Amino acid sequence: MSSEEQDTVKTICPYCGVGCGIQVQQGEEPGDVRFMPWGDAPVNEGRICIKGGAATEVVDHEDRLTEPLIKEDGEFREASWEEAYEYVVDELERIRDDYEPDAMGFFGSSKTMNEENYLLQKIARRYGTNNVDNCTRMCHASTVWALRTSLGAGAMTNSMADLEEECDLFWIQGANPGEQHPIANSQYFRQAVLEGATVIQVDPHANKTTRSFQIDDTDRHQHLQLKPGTDIPLLNAVIKTILEKHEEEPEAGWIDEEFIEERTEGFEHLKETLEEFDKEAAAEECGLSLEEIELAAEKYAMANNAAIFTGMGMSQHACGVDNVQNEINLALITGNVGRPGTGVNPLRGQNNVQGTCDVGAMPNVLPGYQLVDDDEARESVEDVWGFEVPDEPGLTNVEVSHEFGNSVKGLYVMGENPVMSEPDANSVAERIQELEFIVVQDIFMTETAEYADVVLPATTWAERDGTVTNTDRRVQRMRGVDKVHENTKHDLEILSEVGCRLFGPENFEFDDPEEVFEELREVCPIYHGMTYDTLGEEGLHWPCYEPGDEGDSYLYADEFDTESGLGHIEGVSHTPPDEVPDEEYPLVLTTARLEEHYNTGTMSRRSPTLNRQIPENFVDVHPADAERYGIEDGDEVTITSRRGEITVEAQVTEDIKEGVIWTTPHFAAASANRLTNDVLDERAKIPEYKAAAAEIEVGIEP
Ligand code: SF4
């Protein structure tokens, strides 16, 4: 074996949920690491996007946290690990004694591994609270809710590979894979379109997805550029069109009567909901013509295999659960679930957001989506852990944040940045100061870590071993190179030490990530059949119930994983966004991410390659709005909402719909989240990032 082979590890890109395999080569010195392609990686076969190729740039960044820090008189000073651990454990014990376990909140991280999130949620539950959550709350909590309730599992029904091979029509609503999942888009979905598949894209913003599918002059790509927050009227118009056409031509196959009869429940409710529904009025509400909606409905219904892709444009609304339920309705009435090339498929944002949910870092579920208030499920986990788990769901992360200084007194944050990632970020920054104790473990001094009492320096993705689960439920191993800074620690090591000091070694002493995974398998039925050996280099899709199972690339071939075994149809009605334009704030502000950056930008803003591409935030403004406001392309403009203001450069473009402005959350001082509304979906508690009332004016000279 050459020295190059010896010093190179196969691991997974730390950015999006596609789960591309990459290699990291270790140089002579710690921190001297280099990206290398992994030619036969199972998901991407060596292809990589700009973020993946730049991922190693931040491993040895000068801003890395290298020593534990304790705040004294408002300033951080270096501390020993012993001092830091003692402080953390004393404060956790004090808060539990002075108040109750629910006075703490624990935030897991989709940028860390399954084993680490598993251990964090186990600490929270041993502490006595279900107040543990992760950033899925911000992206797909509503999707997970609707899919789990109506089909059985909060995950993609299908896999990228079967979609590429079998799908004839991609219905992409509120998702932007061309930008957010570039390799999935180019390697799988675009490939299918090149071979003849059709794309219906539903989005208020024309983007890289739009352009990637404008392949020829056929009508195989249709963009329904609706107004933000009108997804329910749009889908209701589509569904009503399909039902009406079926009445006119019962033999034409507009709906799948046999599938509805044998495999679903609730069809009558859907029909009743739509009895009085006015398609013309709905089209007007969406800002579209009825003809283009009917054309899209016909294409979807007549496809042999149609798949829905759903993203944060759907989930990040106060009606997010209903939005996704209506996609499920469309798929179920046409029989487009349970076969290769079909289904309802959420494209997950971060490289381990799926896994972080799978392993139970959520307030209502234990590992494997077993409900905390299901006595039988909870007791089966308690039998392995040897302690009692609280039987009431805890608070979600936004609810914890709303309770800062009230019922919540302390916060444990692993690799998250709520001061920037939560909506109405200015008020989060104020509220977090009401807490009595905050500990943050991270690789950089984030906007949240600035408010911490103790900061614990963790290692990066490239330095650690463990597993992550990608958007199509494939669990894959990550492998680390040498630690860059001697006095940093892996998240798992930190959690294990905190757990042992709080509760004794019995439940929290682990030699390595594999030992943690072995325990995870015991309490997580969908992972039970996996071991580090069987994961190998290919990984395995869950569910994988028994050793030897190869995992399922698509779900629900025979029945749904619901109590009745049936897919649940339920009619839904339009709920407008919480804030609609008025005289004071006459525009709709909507938000989304860029290919070149990643969420709060903690890593991507420190990557020279990525930052060079897009160093600052900007806002897209329609030419008609620009003319009304006297805005020229490149002008500095100030955007205001009821919660704050940001100043950014204007891009005048027809990419965005008239009356709507579009910006991003990546840049701290000018983050969209200083403006967004923190109203929540009642059930899934996801905030409405995608629609807020706003005003814009040409920037005032300093
Ligand atoms: Fe990484 Fe996603 Fe790009 Fe693949 S598509 S290289 S996983 S950011």
| Final residue in a domain of this structure, among 37, 58, 79 | 58
Query: From CA 120, how far away is CA 510, in angstroms rounded?
Result: 13
Q: Is the CB of 139 under 6 A from ligand 1?
A: no
| Residue 44 belongs to domain with CATH number | 2.20.25.90
**Model confidence at 164: pLDDT above 60:** yes
Cross-strand bridge partners of residue 438: 411
CB distance 424 to 401 below 8 Å = no
Do 110 and 26 belong together in one domain?
no
Do 98 and 133 belong together in one domain?
yes
| Final residue in a domain of this structure, among 322, 346, 370 | 346
Each residue of 13-49: pLDDT tens digit?
A: 999 999 999 999 999 888 899 999 999 999 999 999 9
State which amino acid sits at residue 547. Answer: P
Query: From CA 487, how far away is CA 478, in angstroms rounded?
Result: 22
C-alpha 525 chain-centroid distance: 23
- CA-nearest of 544, 168, 146, 199 to 340 is 168
Task: Please list, residue by residue across 684-700, b when 16 or more beta carbons sit within 10 angstroms of its beta carbon and e when fewer do.
Answer: bbbbbbbbbbbbbeeee
Q: Given the CA of residue 183, which atom of ligand 1 is nearest to it?
A: 5
Domain assignment of residue 547, yes or no: no
Q: In what order do the strands lie in the sheet with 540-541?
A: 466-469, 474-478, 540-541
**Model confidence at 2: pLDDT above 80:** no
Do 336 and 367 belong together in one domain?
no
C-alpha 675 chain-centroid distance: 20
Instruction: Count the neighbouring beta carbons within 10 Å of the beta carbon of residue 218.
Output: 8
Q: Which two tokens stand for residue 399?
A: 């609810």
The predicted pLDDT at position 6 comes to: 53
Q: How far is the CA of 681 from the centre of ligand 1 (A)?
A: 29
Confidence category of residue 477, pLDDT binned at 50, 70, 90:
very high
Q: Is the CB of 20 under 6 A from ligand 1?
A: yes
Confidence category of residue 292, pLDDT binned at 50, 70, 90:
very high
Q: Which two tokens stand for residue 207?
A: 């983007």
Q: How far is the CA of 538 from the centre of ligand 1 (A)?
A: 17
Helix (H/G/I), strand (E/B), else coil: 136: helix
Each residue of 611-663: pLDDT tens digit?
A: 899 889 999 999 999 999 999 999 999 999 999 999 999 999 999 999 999 99
Do 131 and 148 belong together in one domain?
no
Do 154 and 213 belong together in one domain?
yes
Q: How far is the CA of 636 from the centre of ligand 1 (A)?
A: 32
C-alpha separations of 302 from 250, 295, 584, 587 in Å: 13, 11, 45, 37
Q: Given the CA of residue 19, which atom of ligand 1 is nearest to it?
A: 7
Instruction: Count the neighbouring beta carbons within 10 Å of the beta carbon of residue 561.
Output: 14
C-alpha 53 chain-centroid distance: 21
Domain assignment of residue 81, yes or no: yes
Which amino acid residue places its CA nearest to atom 3 of ligand 1? Answer: 49
Q: Is the CB of 15 under 6 A from ligand 1?
A: yes
Mean pLDDT (the chain) is 93
| Residue 288 DSSP symbol | S
Each residue of 196-230: pLDDT tens digit?
A: 999 999 999 999 999 888 877 667 899 999 999 99
Residue-number span of the structural domain to which 42 is assigned? 3-58
Do 230 and 248 belong together in one domain?
yes
State which amino acid sits at residue 30. Answer: P
Residue 10: which region, alpha, beta or left (left: phi > 0; alpha: psi -120 to 50)? beta
What does DSSP say about strands 437-442 and 410-414: parallel, antiparallel, or unpaired?
parallel
Do 299 and 206 belong together in one domain?
yes
Q: Is the CB of 48 under 6 A from ligand 1?
A: yes
State which amino acid sits at residue 128. Answer: G
Structural domain count of the chain: 4
| Greater pLDDT, 28 or 395 | 395
The predicted pLDDT at position 595 comes to: 81
- CA-nearest of 31, 182, 52, 111 to 609 is 52
Q: What is the ipTM of this complex?
A: 1.00
Instruction: Count the neighbouring beta carbons within 10 Å of the beta carbon of residue 656.
Output: 24
Please, what sign has the CA dihedral across residues 641, 643, 647, 650? negative
**Model confidence at 1: pLDDT above 50:** no
Do 258 and 362 belong together in one domain?
no
Q: How far is the CA of 362 from the centre of ligand 1 (A)?
A: 25
Q: Is the CB of 461 under 6 A from ligand 1?
A: no
Do 598 and 524 belong together in one domain?
no
| Final residue in a domain of this structure, among 509, 541, 573 | 541
Counting ligand 1 atoms within 8 A of each CB, the residue from 49, 160, 613 with the most, and so the one to mutate, is 49
